[in-house]
Each structure stands twice: as structure tokens, then as C-alpha cells.
Structure 1
């Protein structure tokens, strides 16, 4: 049916033919779709990969890390030999350099992708999905400074536990030198367990882990007064020492300098997760 119509148009006048055929000519070559980058997976790799003694890949993250590394290489911030899907220390350093290039400093240039810096890096290169935002840094929970994401997570854990979570230390603080810099950024809190039974303490650890915290019960045997130390997995404001604790938690360790096995009883452990994933 199309061929006779086409022939008639051609014989009736070139102008009509041009009007029919021009749109195809104007359209130009089709553009390839940009890769889609899952920010949650990039953040996961950025926390888990750097302390590894090799370049092993975090399951599910390679396809999302590679375009980020390729973009950093195109900007001259990362050696081509480091483009391997492993978000190691070289990629952390390169991404921190990108953040500084954008004018960021301090915890804003920690090498962990934030929504703004990742979106800017992806312009004409990739599209970002599943953004992770820390939110305001001036929120509070129980009178202690935390960001919005952390406060939301604590409220969810509090509801699951069925008690009142009391913080003994918040985020964005250097008030306790024994914390080894873990509280310098966002997502990290210490929780008082005074008045809780042993079972209640472990139940609270489980509630925190269920909503996406790397959480451990600290004890005098480890050199601490009893409390729970909790790190909000994938918080974009996390300090470098806290990032290493997430790595430890991912591999079933205690988050301390000893990197010993996690001593949490089996019945209070949960599969590794983070806030956004736990809500799906």
C-alpha cells in the first residue's frame, strides 16, 4: 500500500515529496541511550571495596562503578589502569578530587558520591537513579546532632524495638577521641544501653541492623563502657574510619582495630542491608 502512494507523490511534484521525506532526513542518527547508574550500588562499593587487599568486586556493583571510573579518567583524575569496576582507594581519591574541583571540602570531599557531584559527573555520560541523600545536617535525635536520614532510621529502629533510643553521642562531632574519627562525619551514633537487660540490648542491635545500620554492642571486654555503636550504611557524609567499619560489617567482623569476628549472637543477626533497600 505504501509504494503506490509514494510513487504518486513523486510524480505529482517534488515539493510534496520533500515535505513527506524531510522529517526522516532532519532527524539525524539515533543517539544511544546513556548508561543508568544506581547510586546505591556505587555507594555500597565505595564503602566495601577500598580496604580489600585485592581488587575483588562487590557483587552487583561493577556495571555501576565502571561508568563513574570512566568519567573520572576522561577528566584526568583517575589512571586508565584503575578503571576496573573496583571502587578502591584510587577511585576514592579521584572522586574526592572531583568533589574538590566542584568547590567542596571537608566531609563533602570524602570520595563518596553525593547526588549533586554524581549527577554533574554524569552529564552527557550517564543517568543517576536511586539517589541517596543525607538531608539536613542540623537535625537531632534525643538531643544529639544527626542528619535527616539518620534520624529517620533511628525512629524506625525505635519503633521496631518498642522502647526509647537514647543517644550518648551523635554525628559530626569530635567530642570523644576514643571514637577514632568515626563520628567526624554523618550517619554514626552511640546509643546508651543503661537500664536494658542483655536480651534487650541484643534486640536493639537487631532492630538497628534491620533498618540499615552496621551496629555492634560494645562491652568492657573490648575496652568500652557498655553501649551500641551504629553506622548508617551508605550515608554519603560518612568519614573514612566509619566507611571501614561498614566494610567490616559487610564481611561479618566487629568494626574494631582487631577486625575480629562479629560476636553478635546468631539470632540477632540480619542480612546486610541499608535504609533505602530495607524500605522496598
Structure 2
């Protein structure tokens, strides 16, 4: 008599997690329970979580990043369970305390440098969620590749190629990514991945603006930089939103961009072309 009662329980569980009742038919009770338990776990949206980790630390208040609260809360609960985050910070807000806690977790896995920058990567996020949550909407910077004599990652390369398609002409770099200490005027933004400077030699003001707009459309936080703003020549600075290899300084630029700021130390108002802000992944889904 036990087996019919178990079958009814499994059928009820199938309905509860949104699976068809026949999902358990023809399988062992153990396998079925494992499958349904996994299906019932919350899904952490990696895209939303990484975005919150860039924006939330730059906010002047505790406003939550839209669409990220449930995912961030699941991550924070997992960090708390590992005694890396105090209960008072388990609130769905990926602020500086959560970034620091996540970086500590990455270091506990043996990661260093960019791999312990406080931004969730697919591997660390999945390990943290073992038996707690599953991970969806995963993102990756991809392998390092050469472009215009500099180094970028595959995700950045794809974004630049799409911006060129929108513009109808080639854009040329005058600084790449993964360049720690290579340009002191960049304040460390190029130390990690996802950040490039675009040469504007021979461009009119209108063309510079058009390039910055195309870069923004495909998922960069991009600005035209002038000599009046710092010790540098005219160029376009672009930071790939949600690149998990971003340096801390570049993460801050992305957060400021979402908050309507210019990505500079003075945190002035955004002076770039206005577009609907999207990540690269959001842009691709809209095509």
C-alpha cells in the first residue's frame, strides 16, 4: 500500500512545481524525487545578479536593481550560510558588503586577481548554490583574443563587431583590456576585461557621437572623452556592461552609467548620447 501513496505524493509535487504529472512515470522514486527537488529550487538569474553587483554599490540609497532582488537574496543567503555575510546584509541589495563577501568566497575557492573581483562568475555562482539554487542566464567573457594590436575578450570582440555593423565602418582601438598599470590616466579601468578606448583620429564631433551611440546600443557604457576632462587626448572610452572580468574601477563606471553619471571621478552628469540601456545579452535577445 505504500507505493500508491508515494505516487500520489509525487504527482502532487509535480503539479506544485509546474511539471506534468507523467514526469515521474517509469522512473524510480529516488530519481524522481531528485529531479523534482532540483526543479523546485529557485533559479538565480546570473545576468540580473551581476548587474546588481555593479549598480547597487554606487547608489546613494538602498533602491533595488529591478528584476534582481530574488536572485541576489538567494546568493546572500548562501553567503550567510557560509558565515561570510552578516544577516543584516541579507536583503536582496548587492551592495559593498555583499561584493566583499562574494570576493571572500571566491578567494576561499582559491581564486585570485580578476577571478576574485566580487562579481559572480558561472563556476563560483554554481558552486555557491549547490543544493540551494540553480543558475540561469549565464554569461561569460570568453577567451582572450587579439584586436588592433591589443588584447580583448571574445565577448568584447563580438560587441565591437556588432557596433561596426550598425555604423557601417570599422572602429580602431588605441587601448585594450587586461592592461594592469599600462595607462595611469585610466585609473585602473583597463586592468581587467571588457574595457577599450577607441581612436577618434580624423573623426568629426558628429561621428564621435555616432560611435559612442552605437557602442551604447550594443551594451557598452561609452563616453567621448576630451582633453578638458583629464590628461588624455580625444578618445572614446567604452566599458562592457556585465563583463565578469571587469576591474573594480570599471564596475563602478557601469554602475554610474546606469545612474545617469559620466563614469569619471567627479561623478558628473552623463554627457553621452541617450539610448535605452541594455546589456549585450539583452541586445542580442531583442534582435
TM-score (norm 2): 0.86
Partner Cα separation in structure 1 for residue 153 and residue 239 of structure 2: 12
- Which of these residues, 26, 46, 51, is aligned with residue 53 of structure 2? 46
Aligned residues: 260
- Is 1:93 aligned to 2:107, yes or no? no
Which string of whole-angstrom CA distances, capped at 9 and with x for unpartnered residues, describes residues 162-205 of structure 1? 11111111001021010000001110001100011111110000
For structure 2, the residue ranges without an aligned partner over 5 or more in a row are 10-27
SS of equivalent residue, structure 1 residue 279: helix
Match of residue 236 from structure 1: 244
SS of equivalent residue, structure 2 residue 57: coil
1:23–1:155 Cα change, 3 Å: same
- Which of these residues, 132, 135, 148, is aligned with residue 154 of structure 2? 148
- Which of these residues, 203, 222, 225, is aligned with residue 218 of structure 1? 225
Which moves more between the two structures, 22-31 or 127-136? 22-31
Which string of whole-angstrom CA distances, capped at 9 and with x for unpartnered residues, describes residues 180-231 of structure 1? 0000111000110001111111000010000000000000221231000000
Match of residue 164 from structure 2: 158
Match of residue 108 from structure 1: 115
* 1:68 Cα deviation from its structure 2 partner: 0.2
SS of equivalent residue, structure 1 residue 208: helix
- Is 1:77 aligned to 2:84, yes or no? yes
When Rg is computed on C-alpha atoms for both structures, the one with the higher figure is 1
Which string of whole-angstrom CA distances, capped at 9 and with x for unpartnered residues, describes residues 134-185 of structure 1? 111x212222100111111111111111111111110010210100000011
1:22–1:58 Cα change, 3 Å: closer
* 1:18 Cα deviation from its structure 2 partner: 7.1
Which string of whole-angstrom CA distances, capped at 9 and with x for unpartnered residues, describes residues 233-271 of structure 1? 00000011001101111011110011111122xxx3211
Match of residue 199 from structure 2: 192
Which string of whole-angstrom CA distances, capped at 9 and with x for unpartnered residues, describes residues 54-106 of structure 1? 32211211111000000000011100110001000110011001111111000
1:66–1:165 Cα change, 3 Å: same
1:83–1:197 Cα change, 3 Å: same
Match of residue 251 from structure 1: 259
Match of residue 12 from structure 1: none
* 1:23 Cα deviation from its structure 2 partner: 5.6
For structure 1, the residue ranges without an aligned partner over 5 or more in a row are 1-16
- Is 1:129 aligned to 2:136, yes or no? yes
TM-score (norm 1): 0.88
* 1:51 Cα deviation from its structure 2 partner: 2.0
Partner Cα separation in structure 1 for residue 45 and residue 2 of structure 2: 44
Partner Cα separation in structure 1 for residue 263 and residue 6 of structure 2: 65
